[in-house]
Structure 1
Amino acid sequence: MITELGHFALILALVTALLQSTLPLIGAQVGDRRLMALAGPAAAVQFALIALSFGALTWAFVTSDFSLSLVVAHSHTEKPLLYKVAGVWGNHEGSLLLWVLALSLFGGCAHWFGQNLPLRLKARVLAVQGAIGVAFLSFMLFTSNPFLRLVTPPMNGNDMNPILQDPGLAFHPPFLYLGYVGLSMSFAFAVAALLEGRVDAAWGRWVRPWTLAAWMFLTIGIIMGSLWAYYELGWGGFWFWDPVENASFMPWLIATALLHSAIVVEKREALKSWTILLAIFAFGFSLIGTFIVRSGVITSVHSFASDPTRGMAVLAILGIFMGGALTLYAAKAGDLEAKGVFSMVSRESGLVVNNLLLTVAAFVVFVGTIWPLVAEVLLGRALSVGAPFFDAAFSPFVVVLALVLPIGAVLPWKRAELSRAMRPFLPALVLAVAAGLLAWAVGSGRSTLGPLGVALAAWLISGALVDLWGRSGRGAFAARLSRLTRLPRADWGRVTSHAGLGLTIFGVVALTSWSVEDIRVVKQGESFTLGRYEITFEGIREEAGSNFTAQVADIAVKRDGQLIDRLHPAKRVYPFAQMTTTEAAIRPGVLGDLYVVVGDEQDGGGYAIRSYLKPFALWLWIGGVMMGLGGLLSLTDRRYRLAAGAARAKPQGVPTE
């Protein structure tokens, strides 16, 4: 009964989305306030219905209702409760339901927190959201229904993919989807602005919180996925330039550019057409990511589905929304007159450089991701584009971006003197050069990338601190500290994110430049040395889990002859899923991680043991969290909340209908 209720709620949600996407749009066109006013309640009802459907599917997984085909394929009675819940979105159909739940949540939030938005603009924004809902609800109900029943339910299920049975992967997809889908709000605001033929400072202020929220969720989602790859897959890496990894990274790059471009619209009413275009492409790349994950046209360990029919449906949705939005842009872009003028040296120019670097970098990642498919279709050749291409093609943009970011953040609007702006940064520049030279000396010149990355990281972090201190004004030290505590949260958020980027760059270059790897066959009782550690293999024991069996290795770790830790890497066998996973054992530390993986038993006796020293790995994750925290701090600044921005815009003549 509950599952039927969930299925029926999805059908009603589709009907509601149809009404939301049409009636308010008609009302906005003809000026009917009653039709426009329907948009908000319709968005709230759609969210309630989809939440009910999602709750019903979750209940089916928790109670192991094997009358549902989806539960049979992705659950098992012996699976821990957390992974039963995660199994709801650990598959194609359930993840689509999570997708539309996030979409309806953003639409509901626009209704609940956008009370001061102009009625006509709000109606058009929610109508566009409703149209996206119609597309994906139809796609789900007609091709990927999560509530399909079985005539003869089995006694048990097939279990969830074992590599997804991890706490990090339980929370990674919801954050990632909130980021993907959140960009639909930026898209909706862009389309609504094109329909009205008007983009002004108030619009820039309205679109920023939604973009910032999506960017924050996407940042946390990417970091969680990278951390999961590091400790779960057992290969010691954190990023593989996998197509699905790139699918989340591309919209993140475009969203970052959009965030900075919207600042120019808000402050100077310039870059209007460019900002609208970025908003369209940010969501477009999210849809491209959805296509990559679900079409099977590009091989990836992360793919949810490999059904070309479903892939073509997503491609059709992408074509309709992107084609329609770009056609509207071509027709209306001429109406978006830029008012602000600025010189070659100004904050506007700095943000333009920022935008160009980020968008071209996203294009490079896109070409590298999609080229194997193009080569196969057009040239009939099977090609692969791996990490060497991406590292060589993407890294220069990161270097230039890191160099210009601290200066660009403090340049005055409209016109600036570069020499004057550079003066406060001289200590930061000296510190960055010194840090790079120190890294070169310590590394004995083995790597150029490492010292360069250390110098860039020091430049970004110290530059962020200079930026922060410069906003405290002049006067006594105590007075400046007091003023720092009263700075807007958006300033703290920007500085935190920029410093977090510096820490992330430091963690990346440290891991890629100075990691140490050791692979050998070790028999029970034998020891070997790795860096400052003495590692002793004490043996293998069998262990039973809730839905798996495991071979667990006991590893003793000594330093200077003293036992400091015991590690337990393992190989797990999931009998129902008939899969084996590798569980790495990690001894984390501020200066680096000791990372150990146990392999198969060898013919001559002993086991293959892979061990790594991963310097400063923790700093990468701290940097990513800091970037997300910076987004959260900025989002809580009342100046950039949607309602506050709209309320202040009213006296300036923004229409209320």
Structure 2
Amino acid sequence: MIPEIGYFSLVLAMALSLLLCIFPLWGAHTGNLRLMRAAPSLAVGQCVFVLFSFAVLIYVTLTDDFTVAYVAHHSSSTLPWYYKITSTWGGHEGAILLWLVMQTSWTAVVALMSNSIPWVLRARVLGVLGFLGVGFMLYTLWMSSPFERLLPYYPVEGRDLNPLLQDPGMIIHPPLLYMGYVGLSVSFSFAIAALLTGKLDNTWAKWSRPWTIVAWAFLTLGITIGSWWAYAELGWGGWWFWDPVENASLMPWLVATALLHSLAVTEKRGVFKSWTVLLAITAFSLCLLGTFIVRSGIIVSVHAFATDPDRGLYILLFLGVVVGGSLALYAARVSQVKSEGRYQLFSREVALWVNNIFLVVATLVVFLGTLLPMIHKELGLGSISIGVPFFNQMFAILIVPFAILMGLAPMLRWKQNKLSLLVKKWLVVFVVTIVITSAWLFGNYEVVKPLTFLATALAVWIVLATGLDILQKVSLPENLAEGFKRQGLSYWAMVSGHVGIAFVIAGVTLTSAYSVERSVRMQPGDTASLNEYVYRFEGVKEIVGPNYSGHAGVVTVLKNNQVVTELYAEKRLYTIGMQFMTEAAIDDGFFRDLYLALGEQLSQGAWSLRIYHKPYVRWMWLGGLLIALAGFMVVADKRYRKGSMLDSKQGANA
């Protein structure tokens, strides 16, 4: 009976979502304020019922109700409680319900925190969000219900959660990723509402920007933690391998990054208006495309949900409606959009616009590299492979001008700049960059390839250029403390984001260039050397977990005859599904990771082991965290929130 209550709660949420889709849009069209004012209550109501439905799914999972097909397929009685909760989004149906939780939660928060928006625009934003909710609720109720029963015959034990997902990273990675995905639907809704209203002025950008920033920050966190999960869980030290599912999250992130900068220019200078609207439409469209890639069954990936093609067809049709409808509306209204500001070649506007172009081109590279093999195969033209070398080469080309402009942009002013003054500053930064990069690389490595030097220099360039900009700004007042205070959180957010990008570039470059690995056959007491570290194999011991058993290889790591750490690399057998998993042992550090994976047992008591030395690999995730922090810092800035829709003290305009 309890699962049926969860399903019925979704039906009620669907009814409210339909009303949210119809009432406020019709009210805005006819000028009926009563219908428009119904939108916030409908938004909160649908959220309550969806949250209740999700709570029911958690309950039946925690109580091991294997009469529910979803619980029987993705959980087991031996699964730890925290992974039982994780299993509620570990399969297709539960993941779609989690999407609905995020969709309705974002809608409710927008409804409750939009008091400063005129009712006509507010109603249209919530109406568009209601339409998106209808699409996903219909999909859930019709094709992906997590409450289907196996009665009268049901198993006495579940199939267990996929061992790959039994990792702390997967507890928080999908919710954060979905927060970002669905959050971009708010930016999309503001863009569509502005097109419907016909007022694409600076104001809509000001109201849309904080929601876009928060969604982008969550998406950044989700991608960062997903990369860390792949590194720690897959057992071969890879942090990103251009998998189609990974690309599906990268594409909207790239466009959302361009959207953030475009919104800032639109809000402050009144330019790039039509471009900004198009980016908002594209960012969320790519989120829907990513959902189709993951759930259509057209790809094979450790991240993908294998499901039947009918579900993928629904998502593809919904994608067509959303993208086709929004682009048609954009085409009909774009001629009415006129930019107000003026600027010259050497200005911050141009620098941001050019960087937006590079971000969009990077998105097109990922888009073509991901979808072209699928399309080629579906058309019966055979299989083609577009792999890591293609993506690496294309991004290596694009990152050079992008990083150079990132260093230049903070020192540029709006409208126009004196080139002669800028060249002197840039020349100083350039010289210091070459000196520091040379000392760093040639002082630590015997071989330095030109591309490695160039990429590392770009990271140093961004940090030094940002540091020079900080020095100029904080030295203007009488004392440094006052200078730091005057800048506000939004400025320090820019600093955090740019430095984060520099850390990512440096981390990717150096760990790719200087990571080393070694596969060895070892018996207890044997040693193996890698770089300046000595690994002594102590043997194996048996391990028993709540739903697995196996062996842990014990390895003592020494440097200069001093014990650095002791690593325990595990080989697990998950008893229900009889699946083997490698659990790598990692000794992490700021400048390097020691990474150990236990292989197969060999003859005469020996084991195969893989040893990795990965320099600066942590810098990538530190950079990701700094980039995400930048987004949260911006919306926390009181001066930024003043006058925006996040300032809930303002009254609504009827």
> TM-score range with shorter-chain normalisation?
over 0.9
Q: Contact conserved, 1:425 with 1:466, CA < 8 A, in 2?
A: no
| TM-superposition CA deviations, 1:107-156 (whole Å, max 9, x none) | 11111111111100000000000000000000011000011112133221
Alignment of 1:22-101 (within 5 A): 22-101=22-101
1:297 Cα offset (Å): 0.9
Structural mapping, 1:616-635, within 5 Å: 616-635=616-635
One-letter code of the match for 1:236?
G
Q: Structure 1 residue 656 and structure 2 residue 653: aligned?
A: yes
Q: Which residue of 2 aligns with 1:318?
A: 319
CA distance in 1 between partners of 2:133 and 2:640 (Å): 27
- Residue in 2 aligned with 1:341? 342
Amino acid at match of 2:582: T
Contact between 2:116 and 2:648, CA under 8 Å: does it hold in 1? no
Which amino acid is 1:572 matched to? R
Distance between the aligned counterparts of 1:308 and 1:604, measured in 2? Answer: 49
Q: For 1:17 and 1:435, how far apart are their aligned partners in 2?
A: 58
Q: After superposition, where does 1:255-294 map in structure 2 within 5 Å?
A: 255-294=256-295
Q: Is the 8 A contact 2:515 2:615 kept in 1?
A: yes
Task: Give the distance between the partners of 2:319 and 2:23, measured in 1 at CA.
Answer: 23
2:467 maps to which residue?
Answer: 465
**1:479-498 maps to which residues of 2 (within 5 A)?**
479-498=479-498
Q: 1:450 aligns with which of 446, 452, 457?
A: 452
Supply the distance in 2 between the matched residues of 1:437 and 1:379 (Cα, whole angstroms). 51
Deviation at 1:215, TM superposition (A): 0.5
- Decide which moves more: 443-452 or 493-502: 443-452
Aligned to 2:387: 386
Change (3 A) 1:647 1:506: closer
What's the offset of the Cα at 1:510? Answer: 1.1
**Contact preservation (8 Å) 1:517, 1:612:** yes
Does residue 503 (structure 1) correspond to residue 503 (structure 2)? The answer is: yes
Structure 2 equivalent of residue 407 of structure 1: 408
Query: How far apart in 2 are the matches of 1:302 and 1:116?
Result: 41
Q: CA RMSD in A?
A: 1.8
Return 139-148 or 298-307, whichever deviates more: 298-307
Structure 1: gaps spanning 5 or more residues: none
Tell me the equivalent position of 1:250: 251
Deviation (angstroms), 1:557: 0.9
Instruction: Please tell me whether residue 332 in structure 1 is matched to residue 333 in structure 2.
Output: yes
Q: Secondary structure at the match of 1:570?
A: strand
Q: Deviations over 1:588-643 (max 9, x none)?
A: 11220111111001246521111011001122211111111111111212344486
Task: Choose 78-87 or 457-466, whichever is displaced more.
Answer: 457-466
Q: Per-residue displacement from partner, 1:282-337 (whole Å, max 9, x unpaired)?
A: 00000010000000112211012331111111101100000000000010101111
Report the counterpart of residue 137 of structure 1 in structure 2: 137
> Aligned equivalents of 1:572 and 1:289: distance in 2?
32
Taking the aligned partners of 1:277 and 1:484, their CA distance within structure 2 comes to 36
Question: For 1:177-256, what aligned pairs fall within 5 Å after superposition?
Answer: 177-256=178-257
Q: Distance in 2 between matches of 1:272 and 1:637?
A: 24
Relative to 1, partners in 2 of residues 1:642 and 1:546: Cα closer, same or farther, differing over 3 Å? farther
User: Are the aligned partners of 2:536 and 2:555 in contact in 1 as well (CA < 8 Å)?
Assistant: yes
Partner-residue secondary structure (3-state), 1:487: helix
Matched AA of 1:396: I
Matched, 1:432 2:433: yes
Residue pairs, 1:166-177, within 5 angstroms: 166-177=167-178
Measure the CA separation in 1 of the matches of 2:556 and 2:480: 51
Q: SS of 1:302's equivalent? A: coil
Q: Distance in 1 between matches of 2:563 and 2:647?
A: 63
2:302 maps to which residue? Answer: 301
Q: CA deviation at 1:453?
A: 2.1
Residues in 2 aligned to 1:609 and 1:646: alpha-carbon distance in whole angstroms: 54
Deviation (angstroms), 1:581: 0.9
CA contact (8 A) 1:500 1:625 kept: yes
Match of 1:109 in 2: 109
**What do the CA deviations read for 1:520-579 (whole angstroms, capped 9, x no partner)?**
211221111111111111112211100001211010111111222110101111121221
What is the DSSP-based 3-state SS (H/G/I as helix, E as strand, rest coil) of the residue aligned with 2:238? coil
Offset of residue 649 of structure 1: 13
Label 1:645 to 1:415 Cα distance change in 2 as closer, same or farther (>3 A). farther
8 Å Cα contact 2:262-2:352 kept in structure 1: yes
Code of the residue aligned with 2:89 in structure 1: it is W
- Name the SS of the counterpart of 2:411 in structure 1: coil
**Contact 2:113 / 2:646 at 8 angstroms: preserved in 1?**
no
Structure 1 position 461, deviation (Å) = 1.5
SS of 2:555 mapped into structure 1: strand
8 Å CA contact 1:440, 1:450 repeated in 2: no
Displacement of 1:494 in angstroms is 0.9
The amino acid of 1:222's aligned partner reads I
C-alpha change, 1:253 and 1:640, in structure 2 (3 Å) is same
SS in 2 for 1:159: coil
CA distance in 1, matches of 2:283, 2:399: 19
- Aligned residues of 1:599 and 1:609 also touching (Cα < 8 A): yes
CA gap of 1:180–1:642, structure 2 versus 1, over 3 A, is farther
**1:640 to 1:92, Cα distance in 2 relative to 1, 3 A:** farther
Preserved contact between residue 440 and residue 447 of structure 1 (Cα < 8 Å):
no
CA contact (8 A) 2:499 2:623 kept: yes
* Structure 1 residue 648: Cα displacement: 11
Which amino acid counterpart does residue 167 of structure 2 have in structure 1?
A: D
Q: 1:188 to 1:586 in 2, by over 3 A?
A: same
Contact 1:202 1:646 in 2 (8 A): no
How many angstroms does 1:425 deviate by?
4.4
The aligned amino acid for 1:468 is I
Q: Which segment is superposed worse, 410-419 or 395-404?
A: 410-419
Task: Please state how far the C-alpha of 1:457 moved relative to its aligned partner.
Answer: 1.1
User: In percent, how many aligned pairs have the same letter?
Assistant: 41
Q: What is the deviation of 1:468?
A: 2.4
Counterpart of 2:644 in structure 1: which amino acid? A
Q: Is the 8 A contact 2:176 2:222 kept in 1?
A: yes
Deviation at 1:583?
Answer: 0.7
2:362 and 2:264 map into 1 onto residues whose CA distance is 21
Cα 1:160/1:605, change in 2 over 3 Å: same
Aligned-partner Cα distance in 2 for 1:226–1:418? 41
Letter in 2 for 1:304: F
User: How much has 1:646 moved relative to structure 2?
Assistant: 7.8
2:570 alignment counterpart: 570
Please tell me whether the aligned partners of residues 115 and 643 of structure 1 are also in contact (alpha carbons under 8 angstroms). Answer: no
- Seen in structure 2, the aligned counterparts of structure 1 residues 389 and 270 have a Cα distance that, compared at 3 Å, is same
Alignment size in residue pairs: 652
Amino acid at match of 2:471: W
Alignment partners' CA distance in 1, 2:500 and 2:519: 33
1:551 maps to what in 2?
551
Aligned counterparts of 1:286 and 1:513: Cα–Cα separation in 2: 32
* Conserved? CA contact 1:594–1:614, under 8 Å: yes
More moved, 300-309 vs 76-85 = 300-309
Measure, in 2, the Cα distance between the counterparts of 1:223 and 1:377.
32
Structure 1 residues 530 and 647: CA distance shift in structure 2, 3 A:
closer
Partner SS state of residue 140, structure 1 = helix
